[in-house]
Amino acid sequence: MQMTPGPTAVPPRVRNRMSDSMPNPDVEQSFFDMYDDVCSKLQRVYDTEDDVIVMGGEGILGLEAAIASTVAPGDEVLCLSNGLYGDGFADFVENYGGNPTLVSGDYSEPLDVERIEAALDSSDYKVATMVHCETPTGTLNDIAPILELLHDHDVLTVVDAVSSLGGTPVPSEYIDINLGASQKAFSSPPGLTTVAVSDRAWDVAEERDPKSLYTNLLPWRDTSEMFPYTHLVANIAALDESLSMVLDEGLDAVYERHEEAAAHCRERGAELGIDLYPDAERSAPTVTAFHLPGQAKAVQRELEEEHDIVLSTGLADLADDILRVGHMGYNADIQKVDRVMDALAKVV
């Protein structure tokens, strides 16, 4: 059994849908209708009236496309970070010729509002980037007040909500480019990037006019006549089915199911005397990071070899210090969490 924080297990209903015969995505109107339907369903999950587009390509495509489409050489960009994905935005900005100011702290600390205010007072930024859920540390960032601050300073905001969307509410009101992917809380296979784009972000992209195709958001603005390239039709059908499942259950019920699975996972961890990374208050409803300094890899290996339970460790410097249980989408399920924790109890 896989309980990783992405790619998540794909429910049978979604797998069945992928085995249907598919319309030709370049030719048949029924594909265009299905795509439009997916985008409307995503607007409900994103809780936005902004355009939502779905690009063919795994979630990282959206992160790169957001920067490629808005950042011109020499542009000042504020990259807010307390994790690997947050830091990674600064690399994209540099690759596209922008000047990143990275406001990054220790990965166990919250985003530092005072430092962000000081940065905003000392320079004019065109774009700011941040991550809602830092999956590698299981941290959910409180981004709403920061987004409001950036809105007051007229800065375009780019948010990576890949591992929170569909599992917990994302404060979309002041987000200009809001990034998701199929393989996290939507429980679809990897392969699609979802992007909500505000009118203002479209204007910035039009002005930037990037000379790329694959990492350019603009060709996706109007896809009523054609797509920039052959779309991933089986993946779109899968996402359509996943979104129907989420909306049939109801967003509030889905979010509550995630809260309950997360709370249960943490309670069982506490019974075993295992700490959380960084703390309970900021732990994400979609992923639990247990702090097992110097043991995470060995525990992960034993769970897989002896108990057929697949979890993730931390990444980079924290690789051997964090063990992560993904309880997102189809895996936000108390029985599944119990199976993981029963096995973990035998190992630690």
Q: By CB under 6 A, name the binding residues for ligand PLP.
A: 6, 58-60, 85, 131, 135, 160, 162-163, 181, 184
Question: CB-wise, 83 or 98, nearer to ligand PLP?
Answer: 83
Alpha helices in the chain (DSSP H): 12-18, 29-46, 60-70, 84-95, 113-122, 144-152, 199-208, 233-249, 251-271, 296-307, 334-347
Question: CB-wise, 159 or 343, nearer to ligand PLP?
Answer: 159
Instruction: Tell me the two tokens of residue 38.
Output: 């997916």
Minimum distance from residue 183 beta carbon to ligand PLP (Å): 6
Minimum distance from residue 157 beta carbon to ligand PLP (Å): 16
Minimum distance from residue 131 beta carbon to ligand PLP (Å): 5
**CA dist 12 → 4, 48, 187, 188 (Å):** 18, 29, 11, 11
Question: CB-wise, 179 or 218, nearer to ligand PLP?
Answer: 179
What CA–CA distance (Å, rounded) separates 113 from 322?
Answer: 26
Q: Which residue has the tokens 């939502």?
A: 52
Q: Which residue has the tokens 């940065």?
A: 119
Question: CB-wise, 23 or 169, nearer to ligand PLP?
Answer: 169
A 10 A CB-CB count for 43 gives 15
Q: Which residues contact 202 (CB under 8 A, 6 or more apart)?
A: 51, 217, 218, 221
Question: CB-wise, 162 or 204, nearer to ligand PLP?
Answer: 162
To which H or E segment does residue 54 belong?
strand 51-56
Question: CB-wise, 132 or 231, nearer to ligand PLP?
Answer: 132
